[in-house]
A and B are shown apart, each in its own frame.
Chain A
Amino acid sequence: MSIKKYLTLTRAGIIEALQFRLSFLVMIIGNLLYLIVIYFLWKAIYASAGTDVVGGMTFSDTLIYLVLATALYNFMEMYTVWEIGRNIQSGKIVLDLLKPMEYRRYLFWSYSGSFVTQFFLTFLPTFIAVSILTHGAISFGVNLPLFVVSVIMAISINYSIDFIVGTICLYTESIWGINIMKQVIVLLLSGATIPIAFFPEPLKSAMFYLPFQSIYNAPLTVLLHGGSDIESALRLMGMQLVWVVIMNVISIVFWKASLRQITVNGG
C-alpha cells in the first residue's frame, strides 16, 4: 500500500484551501466575534454566581478552555456529513465510488488538507496567543506530545461519528436536520461549548462513558493538565483509544452494509 496516493489528496486539499484567501479572513473575524460573545457570557455567569470558582474552574480557567475548544473545533470540524449528503443528492458519489480507493479513506484524505491549513491558520495562532496572554497557564512538557497523540485519536473518532451520520443520509436522503442534530449532540456532550466540569454529577459520569467527550474534553484536558497529572491524562487517552477502535469498526461495518443500499437500490 502506497502512502503517496493518500498524501496527494492532502496536498490537493491544502492547495484548494489556499485558493480562497478571503474565506480565511471571514473565518478569523467570525471566530473573534464568537470569542467575544463567550467572554461576556461567562463573565456574566461568574458575576451572577457570586463566587470566583464555579465547578472547580476559575473564570480564566473556563475562558482558556473555551478559547482552545473553539480553536480545536475549527481545526477538527470536517463537514463530512454535508459532503456525503451532497454527494448522495447530486449523484457525485458514483464518481467517488469509482476511484480506486475505498470511499471512507478517500473522503478522509480529501479532507486532511484542511487539517493542515486550519492547524497553522487557526489553532496554532490561538494556542500561541493564549499561552502568551496567560503567562504560562499551558505548561510545555510531556503534555504536548500527549496532546498531539490525543488530537489524532480525537480526529479519528470525530470522523467516524461524522461518517456514521453521513451514512444515515443514504437512507433519509436529507441532510440538514440530521446534521444539526449531530452537531448539537457532539458539541454539547463533548465539552466543546460548556466545560464538562459544569455539568451536574449524574450527567457528568454518564458523559464519561460516551464517545463524545473523547473528541474535545480529552485532548484539552491532556493539554491543560497533562503536565501535572500524567496518570489521568493517560487514562483519558486509553479511553480514547477504545473509542477509536469501536467507532471505526461501527462506521466501517455500517458503511459496508449500507453500500448494498446504494448498489441494490441505486445512487
Chain B
Amino acid sequence: MSSIIEIKNVSKEFKVLNRREGLKGSLMDLFSRDYKIVKAVDDISMTIEPGEIVGYLGPNGAGKSTTIKMMTGVLEPSSGEILVNGKIPYKNRTENAQQIGVVFGQRSQLWWALPLIESFKILKDIYMIPDSDYNNMLEFYKSLVDIDDLLHKPVRQMSLGQRTLSDILAAFLHNPAIVFLDEPTIGLDVSMKAKIRTLIKGLNKEKKTTVILTTHDMGDVDALCERIVIIDHGKMLYDNDIEHLKGFFGSYRTLKVRVDDDLKVESEIIQGEFEDLQVTSDDEWISILVDEDKIGVIDVFGTLQKTHKISDMQIEEISTEDVIKKIYEGGVK
C-alpha cells in the first residue's frame, strides 16, 4: 500500500507586524506597514505509511502545530506539496475532515454542557457513522478503558484527564484513517497518561489508524512511537527509528557512581581528570556521560576506582529524553 501522508519540500511563512514598545509604539503600530516574514516551517519532507505512530517532536515554537495544521488543511503551505490520502488537504478540507480525527491538547471539540454520550451521538450523525460501526466502536472503547462513568457526565464537570480521554475517543469515533494528537498528555497525572497511552496503542493496533503525535513527554514517545521526527526552527533535524536516535550522537552511556566523600567536591575532581566528559552530581550520584565510541565505560570506571573510594555504581543507557534534550540544545552539527 502506498503512503498515507506525503510531504514534499513544504515551507510555511507568516507575515507578522513588527510591534513597537510602549504606548507611543502601539499608537504608531496602528499605521505601520512594517512586516517581517517568519518562516515557521522550512523545507520539510517526509512520508508516512498507513498504521504508523509517528512522534513529531520539537521544542516549543518549533513549527509542529503549523505542520499539523497544514496536514489537516487548515493552513495552506507557502510552497511545497502535501498529499493526505492522495488529496491536497486545504483544497478538500471538508472532504479530508471525514478521513481525519484531531485532538488539540488544550481545546475540546466536545459539547461543553452535554453529557459525553450526547457529543458522541452528534458526532455520529455529523460524520454519518452507520449504527453498527458506532456500536462496535463503543464496545471496543469499553474493552480498552472504563468509560461507563464518563458517558453520562457533562463534559464541563470532567477533570482535565477525563476530558482529554473523551476528546481522544471522540477523535477516533468515525474510524478515521489518520488521527492527529497535539500534546494529548499535557498536564495529566501519571495514571491518566498511562491510560491514554494504552488507549492510543490499542486503537492503532486494532483499527490500523495512522497516528501523528506531538508531545513534550518522552514517556509518550517511548511507549508509543517507533519512528520519530524532530524539527526545530522549522527545519527537520531527525527522521528515523527511535533505536537509531540513541546512536545519533554517538553511543552514549551514563556511568553513575557513589562515593563516601562530599559528592560536589568529588565530582569536580573527576571533571578535572576527564576533561572531555560531562560530569554532573546530585544528592545521591555523580553522573558521567561517556561516549563509548571514544572511551569505554569500564575504562572510565577502572580509572576512577584507582583514585576514588567508590561505594556503589550503575550504568545507564542514555534515555530518549537526554538525546532529545541534546538535539534541542545543541542543534545538529
What is the interface of chain A, defined by CB distance below 8 A to chain B? 2, 4-5, 7-9, 11-12, 15-16, 19-20, 90-92, 94-95, 97-102, 260, 262-267
Contact = CB atoms under 8 A, between A and B. Distances in A.
A101 B126 contact: yes
A15 B15 CA distance: 42
Contacts of B122: 8-9, 11-12
B177 interface: no
Contacts of B143: none
Contact of A12 (B97, B109, B111, B154): B111
Given A19-B154, A95-B102, A100 B111 contact: no
A93 to B, nearest CB: 9
A15 B118 contact: yes
A20 B114 CA distance: 11
11 contacts: A4-B128, A5-B128, A9-B126, A11-B122, A12-B114, A15-B114, A260-B76, A263-B74, A263-B75, A265-B14, A267-B75
Contact of A19 (B100, B113, B127): B113
B113 A263 contact: no
B72 A98 contact: yes
B47 interface: no
A223 to B, nearest CB: 33
Interface in B178-209: none
Contact of B114 (A2, A4, A16, A266): A16
A2 B114 CA distance: 24
Nearest to B38: A266
Interface in B6-43: 14-15
B111 A263 contact: no
Contacts of A2: 128
B121 interface: yes
Contacts of A12: 111, 114, 118, 122
A95 B100 CA distance: 12
Interface in B281-321: none
A18 B72 CA distance: 34
Contact of B109 (A19, A95, A265): A95
Interface of B: 14-15, 66, 69, 72-76, 90, 93-95, 97-98, 100, 102, 104, 107, 109, 111, 113-114, 118, 121-122, 124-128, 154
A5 B74 contact: no
A262 B90 CA distance: 11
Contact of A100 (B15, B66, B126): B126
Contacts of B93: 97-98
A4 B126 CA distance: 8
Question: DSSP class of A's interface residues: helix, strand, loop or mixed?
Answer: helix
A262 B107 contact: no
Given A94-B72, A100-B97, 12 more contacts: A5-B126, A11-B122, A12-B122, A16-B111, A16-B114, A20-B113, A94-B69, A98-B73, A99-B126, A101-B97, A266-B14, A266-B69
A262 B76 CA distance: 9
Contact of B74 (A4, A101, A267): A267
Contacts of B102: 95, 98
Contacts of B14: 265-266
Nearest to A264: B76
B66 A98 contact: no
A90 B118 contact: no
Contact of B97 (A8, A19, A99): A99
Given A5-B126, A95-B107, A95-B109, A101 B76 contact: no
Contact of B127 (A11, A100, A266): A100
B126 A94 contact: no
A20 B156 CA distance: 13
B297 to A, nearest CB: 48
Nearest to B100: A98
B15 A265 contact: yes
B94 A101 contact: yes
Contacts of A20: 113
A70 B114 CA distance: 29
B97 to A, nearest CB: 4
Contacts of B69: 94, 266-267
Contacts of A8: 121-122, 124-126
Contacts of A11: 122
Nearest to A94: B74
A101 B125 CA distance: 11
A92 B74 CA distance: 12
